[in-house]
Amino acid sequence: MAELATRSDISTFEALSSGSLAKKAAIVVLGSIFMAVMTQISVPFFPVPMTLQTLAVMLIGVTFGFRMATATLALYLIEGAMGLPVFSNFGFGFAKLIGPTGGYLAGFLIAAAVMGFMADRKVTRGWAGMIATLVIGEVIIMALGYGWLTSLIGTEKAWLGGVYPFILGDMLKLALAAVIAKGVLKGASRFAQL
């Protein structure tokens, strides 16, 4: 009975996978595929395209936990750097990591790690904690993206092309991520009891 109570109270997939390296590896690989797919759903913008990848980063961060979220985003970045077409518009290569989107890509990794760390500590269990965690992740992504873009095209152009047009869409993605993450974790908890 105590096992059921514990399993119904999971806060991340890492907690659900209960030490199984095979399960964790499968979740990490599936997460990197999910990231690659969500990245291809985009609305063209210059110099940075608007994609659903920030939604994917948020979901991975708050549901996977620190180690698995960090591993998933690191795998995604390695896949792209090694030539797999996983970046926006089926882009790939090391040049993408140092181009206009490089700061955002680095931000994805750091944001996922921070959100995963917070999820591991059950900050995301309540709605306020979930929203706060997602906002922190979003701020990390935008700050690193903006900072890097500023070094390439200047502060005003970076703001107008790399931050301002995405604020409303990212707030919508943030709200969507909170609802989806809560539902996914609740469903995973129930599945674990079967």
pLDDT per residue as tens digits for the range 85-99: 999 888 899 889 999
Q: What is the pTM of this model?
A: 0.87
Q: Is the pLDDT of residue 9 over 70?
A: no
Rounded to whole angstroms, the Cα distance separating 52 from 49 reads 10
What is the per-residue pLDDT across 21-72, written as a single tens digit (0 to 9) for each? 888 899 999 999 999 999 999 776 666 667 899 999 999 999 999 999 999 9
Run of H or E residues at 175: helix 167-193
Domains in the chain, start-ordered, CATH in brackets? 2-186 (1.10.1760.20)
Closest CA to 131 of 179, 73, 66: 179
